[in-house]
A and B are shown apart, each in its own frame.
Chain A
Amino acid sequence: MAWWILGLVVLLLVLAGLLYNGLVTARNRIRNAWSQIEVQLLRRSDLIPDLVETARGYMQHESGIFDRILEARRQATAAGAAIPARAAAEATLGRQVQGLMALAEAVPALRASEPMQRLQEELATTENRIAFARQFFNDAVLAYNNRTQTLPGSLLAGPLGFGPEAYFEAPAEAKAKPVVRF
């Protein structure tokens, strides 16, 4: 009889261990996906001073937008790894950059300049990579949240401190299209 109980306890411990490992793996996948996003966000952030320098010479009358962009960039950097705040700040930055690109379209000399064309391509590819990396991140979050909120994972997740994770998504007001004034 005692052997049976001992066997049962060992079995339960093994199952709990497997469950725990699964939760940790899912959380690490989120960390990995997050670092993918950060790489791409950093890439965009690094492009912005170049972009501002290139465009400023052609667009003296539009100096307001440059300040707004640099401010948005500073805020995005300051948000760090707090995901909802960072997502909102990055969405604002993305909107400002799009606004600048739209304004730059109206300046033929700037549009035709070789550094601007290069920057445009780099920004386009970076925006795409951010979008795809975000899809990956959100998939990873979804898988993790499913695991922690369904049985049997939910039995362990609470006591061991596996809380719900946030998706990387822009708040509702940030989804509005940029308004371009000429």
Chain B
Amino acid sequence: MPDADAIPVARTSFAAEQSRRRRQARLWGLLCLALAAGIGAALSTIAGPLLLILAAAGLRLLAWLGLAPGAMRHALHGLEGWTAGHLRALDRGFDLLAAAQRPGDLPMALAAMLDGAGLLLPGMLAAMLLWAGLARFYRRSAAASAAADLRARPPRRQDAEEHQLGNILAELALAAGQPVPRLLMVDAPEPNAGAFGASHREAVVIATRGLLERLDRRQTQGVVAHLLAATGQGDLRLAAAVEAVLGTVGAMVLVFDLPFRRGAWTTLRDLLLALAGGLPAAEADRLRAGLAASASASSMDAMNRVLGIADRWPPLGALLVAPLIPWVLLTLAQKLLVALWMLFVFGWPLGLLWRTRRYRADAGAVELLRDPEALAAALRRIDAAGLPPGGGLQELGLFHAPQQGHGPGFRERASLAFPLTPPIRRRLARLAALGAEGGQARTLGQELRGLAALRGWKAALVIGLTALLVPLTVVLAIMVGMLMLGAALFSLMGGAALASLVLRL
């Protein structure tokens, strides 16, 4: 309930602030694009040379078939020259680095290596195109996909509680100065609700029956205010951008799964259809699940099953499997690389971005309703009940994704990046800072300040631990970084050398 005595004095209106945030959301979408490009660069250290070899084989085949052999051979020479040129630049960079005596020599070496890094450009370009295509597809299919996943139905107007939810939506949309979203209901006992769609103009709010049964009007208002604040600040667009980064990772390693999983072929077909704009929106969840599966650790099981042929039919099976061994090694290296890069480099900016948007939506909801306590109470109820069936792949749109009792979809994501959605205690802590009761949990900043306020032997302990842990962490970070860079450079140079050898044949 808004404060009846509030007379605007010098505030910017809520709607104006939201439209400013929508513009910001577009810029944050560019960060997602940059992350996708980075992932493309990291992955093309292995996939790049592989694609070069495949392209060479294709061109050669076409030339052999008599299809414009001159042009094919010309393209082959161009490709070979391009690869060899970059490889030489990279080599020279290493030589310069090894011969460097003074810090002044380093820029030269780095410039040469940067020149050689042009080898990564095709991978980056491919990842960016994949991201753009996926983001567009996810954005357009979001509402239909969520409705299909959660098995939503239109609301029954004669049902008093569903009618009330419609009223709440209309009220708060009026308060936020936004068009009223379409309402859909889900017959599930777990309380939850989510906002999905392409933009705040055509948003769909999906709520479970559990939300109506377990939450009172105030709490439901809190949930709906959060969803409207989220759609109003442009989170629907951003959700598609974030999902597309995860999808790009899956798509880039999908090629490696093709010999081992039949599902990978289906996903490849879906992906191509989606990029061409021909995949029905209701099948978006299959594509989503397929891409998540190809980037997850569980895709290794399929590989193990195929390799198990060698044990089952000893002599013949081993012969069949043997040619796959290099491929298996490549796959292992690539997936390990993906996991490392996501864990250490690309995962946390993505999580940070998304979690910050969630906290902001909470703050927006409080601004609309001036009732942080209702929001906090709703959060606690929803967290205690677990995720509604089918919500695992839609958790970005949900008001809150409980971390226990989640479906397989959630775990697939969690292995790719940190959990993207914020833990409940962090949200409660922020709501407590806005005036809700019972936020014992503290934000990181408050915890650090609490540590700084300690005195006596406790302070000595904190200082001692910090003195021990900080250098250790720094050393660890440097080592992991060197390892990853080393592995990337090694595989890039080895692969490129192999590719240029094949091209020259």
Please give the residue numbers on chain A whose beta carbons come within 8 Å of chain B beta carbons, in ascending order.
36, 117-118, 121-122, 124-125, 128-129, 131-133, 135-136, 138-139, 142-143, 167, 169-170, 175
Chain B residue nearest to A94 (CB atoms) is B4
On chain B, which size bracket covers the interface? 20 to 34
Can you give 10 A-B contacts (C-beta < 8 A)?
Answer: A117-B160, A121-B160, A121-B167, A125-B170, A128-B171, A132-B171, A132-B174, A136-B13, A139-B13, A175-B4
A135 touches B217 (CB 8 A): no
- Whole-angstrom distance between the alpha carbons of A125 and B170 in the complex? 9
B residues near A124, Cβ cutoff 8 Å:
217
B residues near A121, Cβ cutoff 8 Å:
160, 163-164, 167
A residues near B2, Cβ cutoff 8 Å:
128, 131-132, 135
Please give the residue numbers on chain B whose beta carbons come within 8 Å of chain A beta carbons, in ascending order.
1-2, 4-8, 13, 160, 163-164, 167-168, 170-172, 174-175, 177, 217
B1 touches A131 (CB 8 A): yes
A138 touches B7 (CB 8 A): yes
A residues near B6, Cβ cutoff 8 Å:
135
- Whole-angstrom distance between the alpha carbons of A169 and B6 in the complex? 9
Give which listed residue, B1, B5, B8, B177, contacts A128 with CB less than 8 A.
B1
Known: A121-B160, A121-B164, A131-B1. A36 touches B8 (CB 8 A): no
B residues near A143, Cβ cutoff 8 Å:
13
- Whole-angstrom distance between the alpha carbons of A138 and B11 in the complex? 11
A residues near B13, Cβ cutoff 8 Å:
136, 139, 143
Give which listed residue, A125, A136, A175, contacts B167 with CB less than 8 A.
A125
- Whole-angstrom distance between the alpha carbons of A117 and B160 in the complex? 9
B residues near A167, Cβ cutoff 8 Å:
7
Would you give the shortest CB distance from B123 to chain A, in whole angstroms?
50
Would you give the shortest CB distance from A109 to chain B, in whole angstroms?
18
- Whole-angstrom distance between the alpha carbons of A170 and B174 in the complex? 21
- Whole-angstrom distance between the alpha carbons of A124 and B170 in the complex? 13
A residues near B1, Cβ cutoff 8 Å:
128, 131
Chain A residue nearest to B174 (CB atoms) is A132
- Whole-angstrom distance between the alpha carbons of A71 and B2 in the complex? 27
A129 touches B170 (CB 8 A): yes
Chain B residue nearest to A146 (CB atoms) is B10
Known: A128-B1, A175-B4. A118 touches B175 (CB 8 A): no
Given contacts A131-B4, A132-B171, 6 further A-B contacts (CB under 8 A): A125-B164, A128-B175, A129-B170, A129-B174, A132-B2, A135-B175
Would you give the shortest CB distance from A175 to chain B, in whole angstroms?
7
Known: A124-B217, A135-B6, A136-B177. A129 touches B160 (CB 8 A): no
Would you give the shortest CB distance from A123 to chain B, in whole angstroms?
11
- Whole-angstrom distance between the alpha carbons of A6 and B243 in the complex? 59
B160 touches A133 (CB 8 A): no
- Whole-angstrom distance between the alpha carbons of A143 and B15 in the complex? 13
Chain A residue nearest to B12 (CB atoms) is A139
B171 touches A125 (CB 8 A): yes
Known: A121-B164, A132-B171, A133-B174. A138 touches B8 (CB 8 A): yes
Would you give the shortest CB distance from A177 to chain B, in whole angstroms?
10
Would you give the shortest CB distance from A169 to chain B, in whole angstroms?
6
A residues near B163, Cβ cutoff 8 Å:
121
B168 touches A125 (CB 8 A): yes
A residues near B7, Cβ cutoff 8 Å:
138, 167, 169
Known: A128-B1, A128-B171. A142 touches B8 (CB 8 A): yes
Would you give the shortest CB distance from A115 to chain B, in whole angstroms?
11
Max chain A C-beta neighbours (<10 A), residue from B2, B164, B174? B174
Would you give the shortest CB distance from A76 to chain B, in whole angstroms?
17
Would you give the shortest CB distance from B371 to chain A, in whole angstroms?
12
B160 touches A118 (CB 8 A): yes
A residues near B4, Cβ cutoff 8 Å:
131, 170, 175
- Whole-angstrom distance between the alpha carbons of A15 and B4 in the complex? 40
B residues near A138, Cβ cutoff 8 Å:
7-8
Give which listed residue, B5, B174, B177, B217, contacts A175 with CB less than 8 A.
B5
A129 touches B5 (CB 8 A): no
Give which listed residue, B8, B171, B177, contacts A129 with CB less than 8 A.
B171
A residues near B170, Cβ cutoff 8 Å:
125, 129
- Whole-angstrom distance between the alpha carbons of A142 and B10 in the complex? 8
- Whole-angstrom distance between the alpha carbons of A136 and B172 in the complex? 12
Known: A36-B174, A128-B1. A135 touches B8 (CB 8 A): yes
A residues near B168, Cβ cutoff 8 Å:
125
Would you give the shortest CB distance from B434 to chain A, in whole angstroms?
19
- Whole-angstrom distance between the alpha carbons of A2 and B175 in the complex? 54
Chain B residue nearest to A125 (CB atoms) is B167
Q: Please list the 3 inter-chain residue pairs (A to B) with the smallest Cβ-Cβ separation, ordered nearest first.
A: A132-B175, A125-B167, A139-B13
B residues near A132, Cβ cutoff 8 Å:
2, 171-172, 174-175
B residues near A170, Cβ cutoff 8 Å:
4
- Whole-angstrom distance between the alpha carbons of A121 and B167 in the complex? 9
B residues near A136, Cβ cutoff 8 Å:
13, 174, 177
B residues near A142, Cβ cutoff 8 Å:
8
B residues near A139, Cβ cutoff 8 Å:
8, 13
- Whole-angstrom distance between the alpha carbons of A138 and B3 in the complex? 14
A residues near B217, Cβ cutoff 8 Å:
124
